[in-house]
Amino acid sequence: MAHSSLSQNEEGNMNTLIGSGLWPYLLVIFAGFLPTDIWRWLAVIFARRLDDDSELMVFVRAVATAMVAGVITRLVLFPTGDLISIPLMIRVGAVAGGFIVYFLARRSTLIGVIGGEAIMIAGAYFNVAP
């Protein structure tokens, strides 16, 4: 897949470029912690003026949900790590299987995760030469 090889090349560049130890930690603080916590703080400050069911909140929730869903798709369809070696059909099948098990188990997240994992691990075991 053109995509994964591209991102791997860039990973190499990035690692040599940044090399030194502090960069990931600064990234955690300034690109992870601050943009996340600012919403938690704003919520405390403005709590009384906001209505959870207001249309603005519904819109914000919709954008956030779609974005996380996008990350999920990317992890399954364009993975970076070991998952690359698994055929696409097995990856998609494990997701679909986990979904079906989740609903069969009356919406149990834990059992759904175990179901999807069972398919993925079995698929990986029989597909990848040790």
Partner 1 sequence: MSESDVSILPDPTSQPALSARQWYLRGLWAGITSVQGIVLFASYIGFGGLCADSGVPLGAAAFSTFLIAALPSQLLLVGGYTSGTAALVIALAVLLSAARLLPSVVTLLPLLRGRGRFWVQLFASHFVAVTVWVESQRLLPSLAREARLPFYFGLVTLFNMSCVIATVLGFFLSGQLPRALAIGLTFLTPISFLLALTRNSRDLVDYLSLALGLVLAPVFVEFGGRLDILWTGLVGGAAAWLIHRFRKMKRAT
Residues 102-121 that bind partner 1 (CB under 8 A): 102, 107, 109-110, 112-113, 116-117, 120-121
Task: Kindly tell me the burial class for residue 15, based on how many C-beta atoms sit within 10 Å of its own C-beta (0-12, 13-18, 19 or more).
Answer: exposed
Least CB distance to partner 1 at residue 87 (A): 12
Least CB distance to partner 1 at residue 75 (A): 4
Least CB distance to partner 1 at residue 88 (A): 11
Does position 75 interact with partner 1 (CB under 8 A)? The reply is yes
Residues 9-68 that bind partner 1 (CB under 8 A): 10-11, 13-15, 21, 24-25, 27-44, 46-47, 50, 52, 55, 57-68
Q: In terms of DSSP H, where are the helices of the chain?
A: 2-18, 22-27, 34-46, 55-77, 88-104, 109-127
User: What character string, x for contact with partner 1 (CB under 8 A) and - otherwise, covers 80-99?
Assistant: xxxx-xx----x--xx--xx
Least CB distance to partner 1 at residue 40 (A): 4
Helix/strand/coil for 85:
helix
Residue labelled with tokens 């069972």: 118
Phi, then psi, of 86 in degrees rounded to 5 = -95, 130
Helix/strand/coil for 80:
coil
